[in-house]
C-alpha cells in the first residue's frame, strides 16, 4: 500500500510540475513570477524619494529638466513680422490654422494692416460637407466590402473628422475661396466640435446603412447615388444649425494703407488750439476717420482670395523626413483627400537636414513655413519650450525608456498630430540652433502663443514641411517628378 501511495504522490508531483510549466509557457503571470518580482524590488533612497514625490505631484513637474529651462532664451537672429495669434480651441483644425498662418502675412503686408484673421469656420463648414460627400461615395464604392474590412473600419470610425493635411487646405481654398473672420465668426460648435462631430458621425453611419440596404435590395448603384442628395441635405442642415450658413458674397472694408492713427506729435500740436479750432478739428477728425477706411466693397470668397492673397498654392509641395522608408521615395497616402475629386496627401522622403536647409532658405526670404510634427513629447505649454529630454522620465523611474525616431513611429509611439508654422530661426555661425514656432493654441499658452523649438526637438519630432517648388534643390525636384507609391491610410507615418 505504501508503495502504491508513493507512486501516486510521484505522479501527482510530476503533474504539478508539468502544469506549472505549461502555465508559464502559456504566458500567464504566475504567482511564482509575482513573488520573484516583489522580492527583487528594492526600495532604495532614490526609489523612496521618487515614490514620495510622484504620489504628491505630477510626473511632468517632477521630470522637468531644470537645466534646459534655466539655459533657455527666446532670442532669434531672424524673425518674420506677424500679427495676432489664432486659437483653434477644442477642435482638430490645426492644419487649417497653420495653412492660414502661412498666407496671412500676404494680406497683412499687402494692405499694411495692424491685424487680420481669416474665417476658419467658413472653410471648416465646407471641409465637413466635402468629407461627408467623400464618405458617402466611399460607401458606394466599397458597397461589397465587409464591415470589418480595414478600410471600412477606418471610414466608419470617424466619418467626417476635424483633422486634415496641407493638400486638403489647398483644395478647399481653391474651390471655395476665403473670407475675413468678421464676415463669418466662430460659434460654440466650431470651437468645441465634439458634439457636432458626434451628430454628424451618427447621421453618416445611418446613411451608410441605408445605402448598403438599397444595394442589397436592388443591386443598383444608380439608386444608391439617387439617395445621396437627401443625405447631403441632412448634413448641410446639421452644419448650418451648428456653424451658420456660409456667405456667397459679403461686404468688407479695411484700414486704408498709410492711414495710421494720428501720432503723439500731431496730437501735441493741437493742445494749444483755441476752443473754436478744437471744434473745427473735431469735424475734421470725424471726416478723417472716414478717410482712414477703404471704400465698402462686395466680394465673393473667390474674388477676395484672388485680390488679396493670389498665391498658386498648388505650387507648394510636401517634403518629409520618413524614417521608416528609403530616402528618395515619392509616396501618396490613400483616402486622405477631403474632396472626393481632390488630392491625397503626398510627399517626397528626404534626409532631415534637407528639411532644415529648406526652412532656413524660406525664412530668410521672409516667408513662413507650414510644418507638421508630433507635438506630444518634450514640450511645455507654459514656457513655450520644445527640447529633447525636457522631461527626463528615465531619471525619475531609473529605467531605460529610449526609442529612436524610426522605432517610435513603427511601434505607434509617435505620429504626426499637429500642424504649425515656422516664423523664425536663430542661426549661430550659419547653423540653426533653435526655431520660432507660431502655434494655434491662443496667446495664453507658450510665450504669447509662440514656441521655441530647439534643433534636437526638430530632429526627433518634425516630420514634414511645405515649401514652394522653386525652393527645392534639383535632386528633390527629380524625386517629385517620379510616380507616387501608394500607402494605406493606416500607415504609421500618417
For residues 300 and 275, the model is more confident at 300
Do residue 212 and residue 341 come from a single domain? Answer: no
**pLDDT confidence of 181, banded at 50, 70, 90?**
very high
| pLDDT above 90 as % of the chain | 84
- Taking the alpha carbons of 334, 338, 343, 345 in that order, is the dihedral positive or negative? negative
Do residue 83 and residue 202 come from a single domain? Answer: no
Do residue 78 and residue 189 come from a single domain? Answer: no
Do residue 323 and residue 304 come from a single domain? Answer: no
> For residue 7, what pLDDT is reported?
59
Do residue 251 and residue 194 come from a single domain? Answer: yes
Do residue 143 and residue 67 come from a single domain? Answer: no
Query: What pTM, to 2 d.p., does this model score?
Result: 0.88
Residue at 277 is within a domain: no
> For residue 439, what pLDDT is reported?
94
CATH code of the domain in which 208 resides: 3.90.70.10
Please state the domain count of the chain.
2
Do residue 180 and residue 216 come from a single domain? Answer: yes
HSE value, Cβ hemisphere, 13 Å, CA-based, for 273: 14
Q: What is the tens place of the pLDDT at every residue in 315-362? A: 999 999 999 999 999 999 999 999 999 999 999 999 999 999 999 999
CB 450 within 8 A of CB 422: no
| C-alpha distance from residue 244 to each of 40, 183, 188, 302, 411 (Å) | 63, 11, 11, 19, 42
**pLDDT confidence of 291, banded at 50, 70, 90?**
low
Q: Domain limits at 142?
A: 92-104+113-258+296-311
> For residue 447, what pLDDT is reported?
94
Q: Is 80 exceeded by the pLDDT of residue 262?
A: no
Do residue 147 and residue 233 come from a single domain? Answer: yes
Do residue 318 and residue 460 come from a single domain? Answer: yes
E strands, 2-71, where? Answer: none
Q: What is the tens place of the pLDDT at every residue in 219-232? A: 999 999 999 999 99
Do residue 250 and residue 151 come from a single domain? Answer: yes
Residue at 196 is within a domain: yes
Residue at 29 is within a domain: no
Residue at 391 is within a domain: yes
Burial of 15 (0-12, 13-18, 19+ CB in 10 A): exposed
Do residue 301 and residue 372 come from a single domain? Answer: no
> For residue 362, what pLDDT is reported?
98
Q: What is the DSSP letter of 270?
A: T
Q: What is the tens place of the pLDDT at every residue in 299-314? A: 999 999 999 999 999 9
Phi, psi of 468, deg, nearest 5: -70, 145
Closest CA to 321 of 387, 389, 385, 373: 373
In Å, how far from its chain's centre is CA 29? Answer: 40
Residue at 335 is within a domain: yes
Q: What is the DSSP letter of 148?
A: T
Q: What is the tens place of the pLDDT at every residue in 434-476? A: 999 999 999 999 999 999 999 999 999 999 999 999 999 999 9
The per-residue DSSP string of 346-401 comes to EEEE--HHHHHHHHHHHHHTT--EEEEE--SSSEETTTTEE-TTSB-HHHHHTS--
Residue at 117 is within a domain: yes
Do residue 240 and residue 326 come from a single domain? Answer: no
The per-residue DSSP string of 196-218 comes to HHHHHHHHHHHHHHHHHHHHHHH
Cell of 349: 522622403
Q: Is 60 exceeded by the pLDDT of residue 287?
A: no
CA dihedral 378, 383, 384, 386 (to 10 degrees): -30
> For residue 348, what pLDDT is reported?
98
Residue at 217 is within a domain: yes
Q: What is the tens place of the pLDDT at every residue in 65-109? A: 999 999 999 999 999 988 889 989 999 999 999 999 999 999 999
Residue at 25 is within a domain: no
Q: Which residues are catalytic?
A: 94, 418, 439
Amino acid at each position: 500500500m505504501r508503495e502504491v501511495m508513493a507512486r501516486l504522490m510521484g505522479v501527482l508531483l510530476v503533474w504539478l510540475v508539468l502544469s506549472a510549466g505549461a502555465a508559464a509557457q502559456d504566458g500567464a503571470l504566475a504567482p511564482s513570477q509575482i513573488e520573484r518580482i516583489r522580492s527583487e524590488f528594492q526600495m532604495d533612497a532614490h526609489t523612496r524619494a521618487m515614490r514620495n514625490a510622484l504620489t504628491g505631484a505630477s510626473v511632468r513637474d517632477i521630470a522637468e529638466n531644470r537645466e534646459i529651462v534655466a539655459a533657455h532664451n527666446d532670442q532669434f537672429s531672424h524673425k518674420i513680422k506677424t500679427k495676432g495669434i489664432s486659437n483653434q480651441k477644442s477642435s482638430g483644425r490645426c492644419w487649417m490654422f497653420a495653412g492660414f498662418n502661412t498666407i496671412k502675412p500676404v494680406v497683412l503686408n499687402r494692405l499694411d494692416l495692424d491685424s487680420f484673421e481669416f474665417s476658419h469656420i467658413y472653410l471648416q463648414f465646407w471641409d465637413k460637407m466635402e468629407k461627408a460627400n467623400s464618405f458617402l461615395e466611399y460607401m458606394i464604392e466599397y458597397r461589397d466590402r465587409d464591415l470589418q474590412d480595414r478600410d471600412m473600419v477606418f471610414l466608419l470610425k470617424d466619418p467626417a473628422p476635424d483633422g486634415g493635411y496641407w493638400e486638403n487646405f489647398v483644395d478647399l481654398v481653391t474651390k471655395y475661396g476665403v473670407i475675413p473672420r468678421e464676415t463669418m465668426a466662430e460659434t460654440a460648435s466650431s470651437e468645441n466640435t465634439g458634439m457636432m462631430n458626434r451628430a454628424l458621425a451618427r447621421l453618416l453611419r445611418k446613411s451608410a446603412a441605408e445605402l448598403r440596404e438599397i444595394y442589397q435590395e436592388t443591386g443598383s448603384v444608380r439608386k444608391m447615388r439617387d439617395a445621396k442628395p437627401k443625405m447631403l441635405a441632412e448634413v448641410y442642415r446639421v452644419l448650418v444649425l451648428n456653424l451658420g450658413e456660409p456667405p456667397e458674397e459679403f461686404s468688407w472694408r479695411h484700414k486704408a494703407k498709410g492711414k495710421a492713427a494720428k501720432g503723439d506729435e500731431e496730437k501735441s500740436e493741437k493742445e494749444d488750439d483755441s476752443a473754436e479750432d478744437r471744434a473745427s478739428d473735431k469735424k475734421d477728425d470725424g471726416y478723417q476717420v472716414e478717410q482712414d477706411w477703404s471704400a465698402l466693397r462686395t466680394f465673393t470668397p473667390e474674388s477676395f482670395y484672388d485680390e488679396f492673397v493670389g498665391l498658386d498654392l498648388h505650387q507648394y509641395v510636401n517634403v518629409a523626413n520618413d524614417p521608416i522608408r528609403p530616402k528618395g521615395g515619392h509616396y501618396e497616402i490613400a483616402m486622405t483627400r477631403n474632396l472626393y475629386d481632390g488630392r491625397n496627401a503626398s510627399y517626397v522622403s528626404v534626409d532631415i537636414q534637407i528639411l532644415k536647409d529648406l526652412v532656413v532658405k524660406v525664412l530668410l526670404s521672409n516667408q513662413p513655413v507650414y510644418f507638421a510634427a508630433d507635438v506630444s513629447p518634450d514640450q511645455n505649454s507654459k514656457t513655450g519650450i520644445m527640447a529633447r529630454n525636457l522631461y527626463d522620465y528615465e531619471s525619475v523611474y531609473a529605467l531605460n525608456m529610449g526609442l529612436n525616431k524610426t522605432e517610435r513611429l513603427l511601434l505607434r509611439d509617435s505620429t504626426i498630430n499637429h500642424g504649425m508654422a515656422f516664423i523664425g530661426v536663430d542661426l549661430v555661425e550659419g547653423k540653426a540652433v533653435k526655431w520660432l514656432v507660431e502655434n494655434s493654441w491662443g496667446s495664453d499658452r507658450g510665450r504669447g502663443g509662440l514656441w521655441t523649438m530647439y534643433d534636437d526637438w526638430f530632429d526627433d519630432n518634425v516630420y514634414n514641411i511645405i515649401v514652394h517648388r522653386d525652393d527645392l534643390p534639383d535632386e528633390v525636384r527629380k524625386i517629385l517628378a517620379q510616380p507616387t507609391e501608394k500607402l494605406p491610410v493606416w500607415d504609421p507615418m500618417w
